[in-house]
Structure formats: C-alpha cells, structure tokens
Structure 1
C-alpha cells in the first residue's frame, strides 16, 4: 500500500510525540501542590527537583544528537520516547524528594532527544522549501501539549479511584490519583511507539512512499547537496566544536530562547502579581500558547514561500528572523500598558515573533549541517537553549524577589560566581526590567549571526 504525502504523515507522528513530551514534563507542574503535600516537599525542594530535570535535559542535549546520528532516526526516537515514557511511569513510585529527583532526572535524559531526532527526520524527508513548515508543525505539538496538560492530568489525578478500582488505589497508597496520572500519561508514549515502528523508514527504504514523492525528495536532495564538499563520514567532536556555525547558532539560541522560557514559566506569575489576576482568571494564559502555535506555523510558511521564490534557505530564514527581531522592541510596552487587553495584545505579537524566530533558527541548523552530523550539531546548539533558560530563571527570580534569607539551592550556588555581578545589578528591579531586556535580545542575536558569517553557508545545502 502506498500513502500519498507520506512525509506529512511522519510530521503528524512527530507532532503527537511532541504533545506527549510536553504533557509528561508538565504533569509534575500541574499536580505540584498535591505532590508536595503527599511527599512533604517545601518549595526549595520542589525547585531542586525542577533544576535536576533541567540539568539532565542539558546533558541529554549534548549526547542525544550523537546517538541519533549513530543509530539513525527510527531507532533513536524509539529509544528516546520509550525511555522518557518509562521514567514518567516510574515517577508514580516516588516516596520522597530523592526518588522523585531520580525519576525526573531520568525523564530529562530522555525528553531532550526528540528534538535532534525530529530534525533528522525532517532533513531526510523534506526539501529546503518545506523544512521550516515541517519543523513548525511538530514544534506546535509542544505548545498544544503544554496547553492541554492540566486539563488531562488534573482530572486523572482527582478521579475517585478508591470507589471504582479500590484494589489498584490501595496498592498505590497515598496519592493514588496523581500516581495513576503519571502511569497513564507514560503509557500513552509507549502506545505511540507502535505506529512509529510500523511507519518510519528513510524515504528510499519506505514501502509506503509513492514513486512521485520519492523522486521529488531525491531530486531535491541531489540539488541541495550539489554545492557541498562534505564527505559522507560523520563529523568528529573536534569538527563539530570547531565549526563556526555551531557556535553562532548556540549563542543565538542562548540569547533568545530565554524569551520563550519566560513566557512559559514566569508570565502567569507576572499577571498574578503585577496585574492582580486571580487563579481562575489566569486561564487567559491559553492565548500565549495559541500565539506560540500561530508563530510556529507562520514562521515556517513564510520562510518556505521565500525559498520557493528562489532565495537560498539561509537567507530566507534570516529575512524572517529580521522581521521577528524588529517586533521584539514591543516588549517593554507590555509592562507599561495600563490596560490588561492592550498588554495581552502586545504579548501575543511578541510571542508569535519569538516562536517564528525559533522555528527558523532551528531550520538553519538543518540547512547548513550535513545530514550525517545533523543530530550532533543540533543537540549542541540546543544545549545553549537550556543554559539560557537556567540563567534567565536566576535573573528574573532576582528581579522579582529581591534578596533572600534562605539558603541557595545547589544550582544557584553553581552559577553564583558567574552571575553574581548581574544579579546584584538587577536585584529587586521587578518584571519591568526584564521586559526591557527582552526588547534587545533578538536584534542582538540577529546581528551576531549576520556579522558572524552565517550567510557564508547560503549555497552549501
């Protein structure tokens, strides 16, 4: 049997993998008050569990791409999804901070792998003119997963299992509801593995692809690789780390990804503290994830249309990213606007721009790196994202909380020497200071890419 448009069905699978990825990571956040009470965890212990996840995520970014390059897209994504799904299910066995930290560390090691592996799938199945859209579509799965996670896991956790399945509830003990939520969301990932194994192969090995689609992919691949002088041998770590493009893209993501992390983790707290929104009113934050989805799609569609007009892929991405960078100076007006509706409208525009930028900078990796080493370079570049997120968390926390009398967490201590001058400078300045900083991050990163020489790769692939 042949399936028309097989490459887009693969994107559908990657979309659902991204949805599950974010549901699994958000389960702990959505159920935090209940879990903290059952496991006797204070906020400092909870913060340390989150930091452990971020550390594992950063480590995994550095190695998961290499794994994807070594064993291939199909096997690596099977491994990553199975790994994180099992550790998500094992979280149900947590009996304290130590065991919970161990399971979340395991989750972080698995979850990072989806992104370099998915980028390899795009490089194998899509021509340059469609790559940004393909990446935008599966990235939108992350925003969908984050949006629906509370609406899935909270009902699962609060269901009256003691009456319906008393044997299972009794065996799981205290907190049976949230434990079952972890088990069921993890199980969904294991079910996803079935269609993935059935469907995914490289185009030339797929029995489901039509002859026309295979010819299109092979022709596009031949044309795009015509100017490349690279051999088919995978790059060594030395080649990866001495490749200028690796560092340009890593630094650009380290500078700009904190904007999206801020909107995920801090913007609801900003609305609560500075805009006086109640817990119920904070449901309005769904517009942030909707805007992120729109940005993911628009960034891919516009970039692809520019490529279709004959513009080289790298130049196309940079034109879209320039427009996004020019929108980010709206950020300070989000905090200074007197009305909530005006503030949220400005936020929607900046989030759309931030995600359109993210889609195109991710596409740049696929555009300039040979397929055989794409996963490795992508994972190193993406590690800059999580490092930027960790730094942003510390800076924003200092801005909005002021000096603390509590002992610093282990991650705070590790970064203290490096960031102490910055933290002292912004201490107690409030959210307004961060909104001002966000105005300059994307323009700065765009200039870094332009004058750092990213355009030299315009004809390579």
Structure 2
C-alpha cells in the first residue's frame, strides 16, 4: 500500500487515462471518414450507401445507451472498459478485410455495440474521482480528447492510408486499441481500491461531492427497477438536456463522417491537403471545450450561479455552431475552413453538457440517465449521415450545411427554454 496520509493527485492520472481512451474511441469511430472516398471507389459504394455505412455505428450505439448505462452502474469500470475496448478494437481491425457494403454495415454496427457503455463509464469515473467544483474541467479535458486527438490524427491517418491503403488504416487503428485495453486493465482502479491515493485526496474528493464510496454505491445499484427507465424520461429538464445533446451530436457527426468527403469530393481539395486542413476545425473545437470547462469551473468558484457558469457556455456554443451555414456563401478555402472551424469551436464550447448529468440526474440513476442522454444524442448519428447522403446526392452540399445549422439553432432553444433552472432531480419514493 502507498502512503495514505501523504497528499496525492492521483485523480489527474486517472483523467489522463480517460483522455487517451477517448482519443482511441474516436479514432475507431472516425477512421471510416478518412477511408470513405477510397472505399467508395474500391467497393463501388454510392453516396446514399455511404450515408448508411456512416450511420450504422450509431444504430447500435444509440440503441444500447440505456443498457450501457445500466451495465456501467453494475460492473466495475476497470473490467468493463477493458472488455469493450478490446472488442471494439478487434472489430475495427477486421474492417480491414471488408469486401462489401453489407460487411461494412455489420462491422460498423458491432463497433457501436461495444462502444455504447463508454461515455456513461467516463461520466461515472469522473463523478467518483472529482469533486463537483472540478468536474466541468475534468469533463472538458477528457471530452477534448475527441477533438485534440483527431486534430493531430487526421493528418497522420491520411498519411497512413496514403502508404498502407484504407485496409492498412483499419489494421493499425485496431492494434492500437487492443494494446491500450491491456494497459487500462493493468493501471485503472476506483478511488478506494487505488493503492496510492492518499486519505487527504479521498477526503477532498468526497467532501466536494465525489462519489468515492463504492460500497455505498453498490448497495444503491441493487435497488434498480425497470420503472427506473421510466423515471429518466419523466422530467422536462432532462428532456431539455436530451434534445440539446441530439443537436450537439448533429454537428459532431458531420465532422466525424462527411467532413473529409466534403473537402475532397465537393470542394475539390487534394486528399493529403484535406487531412491537414481538416485538423483546423478540430483544434478549434479542442480550444472551445477547454475554454468552456475551465471558465465554467472558474465562474463556479467565484460564486456565479450555475445557470451562468454551466449553461452560458453551452448556449453561446450552440449559437456559434449555426455559423457552419456561412461555408455555403464562399468559394475561398480559407473562409470555408474559417466558418467550419468557428462552428466546431462553438460545438466545443457546448461539449461540457455531460456536467449536467452529474448535477441534475437523480443520484442513484446517474449511469442510467447518462445512458438516456447519450441515447438521444446518439440518434443524431443515425439520422444525420443518412439525411446528408440523400441531400448531397445531386452533388450540392449546401442543403446539408443548412440542415446542420438549423439543428444547432434548435439546441440553443432547448437549453435556453426547456432545461430551465439547473438543480438535482429528487425522485419521490
């Protein structure tokens, strides 16, 4: 055992591990977007079919969010994350052998199955390891993994595909995830099972609202009833969060699926050049999510209301996301990337939305509420790629960008008028 009385900051080691896991999670979601043009050419897949391939991941990912939240509440994060990460990585690797539209659909759907519990697990880990006043920053940091990781990985993935082909791209991506699954199992522990976390740090976390007492939590988990699923859909406030997450997801889904194809096929950019230019909006989103998380926690520490400190960045971010429409009114590569980067920066600002699950969900249903939250958000992954596939069939991407901008506006309305006052929902027994 480590020295329990000596002050430690092990929660930041845990946060680093979540960050890396999120990077790998999104690597395996988005490598298909880099490979899309080559896959369409090699396998003879049209735009509408590609929309269904992009969407297939979300069919299972969204539908399994609520079961994923239940599983996240019941199985230790160390074991569950290792299992799902290994299997989604294996499915990613097998994509390198795909030879048909149907095979791609099946493999993308299988990745969605195994990634489904990942964000409920992330939220539970942060809820266990961080006091409330540090939680938005922690969520901002690990959420930024999806943006920073892709900002640097998109050019790398483009280079890998350039040399190894799209099949090699999947082989490399899958191998990385399998390796990290082993590392996660070896190093991760919950707070009270961690050998080297001090009593001082545990008390800091617990006194600040962190749920470090996993024995107590385990007892609560045994109280699960099927009626709990009804509970997480009863409240207007939660529906405001769910709708907002769908709208937030719509912009992210565009960037995770059609964005590289938009640059190469509809804007005529060179493939390798598009890999580097595509990283710019991801860097903007990374800056947005970090600015949002740290500013939100700073305002909380200074005594500002939860509505100001937590909700304002999301409302502003949703409004900025509507700027994606501006790309329809220019042929300049600089301004196309500018408008897309501004929109994705706004999406980054709004991406701390998970903090509301920690603050508003019924205490014994945090995992389940997180599953419902991500389920509705995941529906964007089903709807948006397919709708875009149909909208761009005639070669014009303009209507697709209007579609994305309109959904972002709906997100602004939902957080402003439906969520209302930010407060914990108490279930009456």
Q: Same fold (TM over 0.5)?
A: yes
Measured in 1, the distance between the counterparts of 2:17 and 2:144 equals 12
Higher gyration radius (CA): 1
Deviates more, 1:285-294 or 1:367-376: 367-376
Asked if 1:186 is matched to 2:186, the reply is no
Gaps of 5+ in 1: 161-176, 226-230, 405-426
2:230 pairs with 218, 228, 238, which one?
238
Aligned counterpart, 2:303: 310
Residue pairs, 1:22-41, within 5 angstroms: 22-36=26-40, 39=43, 41=45
Aligned counterpart, 1:457: 424
Deviation at 1:329, TM superposition (A): 5.5
Deviates more, 1:300-309 or 1:317-326: 317-326
Supply the RMSD in Å over aligned alpha carbons: 3.5
Q: Name the count of aligned residue pairs.
A: 413
Gaps of 5+ in 2: 214-218
Asked if 1:199 is matched to 2:182, the reply is no
Measured in 2, the distance between the counterparts of 1:99 and 1:223 equals 42
Q: Per-residue displacement from partner, 1:25-67 (whole Å, max 9, x unpaired)? A: 2333323455455556555544433332221221222321111
Deviation at 1:439, TM superposition (A): 6.4
Asked if 1:211 is matched to 2:199, the reply is yes
Asked if 1:430 is matched to 2:404, the reply is no
Asked if 1:391 is matched to 2:383, the reply is yes
1:287 pairs with 277, 280, 291, which one?
280
Residue pairs, 1:41-440, within 5 angstroms: 41=45, 43-153=47-157, 155-156=159-160, 178-221=166-209, 232=220, 233-234=223-224, 236-268=228-260, 270-271=262-263, 277-282=269-274, 283-311=276-304, 313=306, 316-328=309-321, 330-336=323-329, 339-359=332-352, 361-370=353-362, 372-402=364-394, 430=399, 433-434=402-403, 437=406, 440=409
Higher RCO structure (Cα 8 Å, ≥6 apart)? 2
For the Cα contact (< 8 Å) 2:96–2:168, is it kept in 1? yes
Q: Per-residue displacement from partner, 1:339-369 (whole Å, max 9, x unpaired)? A: 543454344333222111121x111112112
CA gap 1:97/1:401 in 2 versus in 1, 3 angstroms: closer
1:444 pairs with 413, 418, 423, which one?
413
Measured in 2, the distance between the counterparts of 1:454 and 1:57 equals 30
For the Cα contact (< 8 Å) 1:116–1:375, is it kept in 2? yes
Deviation at 1:401, TM superposition (A): 3.7
Measured in 2, the distance between the counterparts of 1:201 and 1:223 equals 14
SS at match of 2:92: helix
